Amino acid sequence: MVNTSSPPSSRSGVGINRVKRFLTYARDYQRNLIKFIIEEDKRDKSSPHLLFSYFLSKEPVDLNSLPKLNFSERDLNEIGVQFMMDIFILFLFNLFSFMGGFVSLIKYDVR
């Protein structure tokens, strides 16, 4: 129930939750990139194997072998499922408001 009282942007994949997802992907990518650099540096026998730019291997690296950042936006279906409860609550709220207004209008005495 707490989730339905939060702003819709926090559940729809935009706003702070999207930034958190991106930062999670970016941190994973950073770990993978560092692991890749260490593995590529270990292949060069003449390198001192220290993680500073002037101590790394001088051999060129194939850019196609670099790890890729795999951040993707959330599916519209996934977002839609989360909003079904919100849409249902809004529908009930509108229905009860209309019914209350209609009943009070019927009971109103014009005289």
Listed by start position, the domains of the chain span: 1-74, 75-111
DSSP state of 95: H
Residue range 86-107, pLDDT digits in tens: 889 999 999 999 999 999 999 8
What is the structure's pLDDT at 48?
64
Q: Which residues contact 81 (CB under 8 A, 6 or more apart)?
A: none
CA distance 29 to 44: 23
Greatest alpha-carbon span in the chain: 101
Looking at residue 72, what is its pLDDT? 84
d(CA 78, CA 90): 20
pLDDT tens string 19-76? 898 999 999 999 998 888 778 777 777 766 565 655 566 677 778 888 888 888 877 7
Contact 82, 8 (CB under 8 A): no
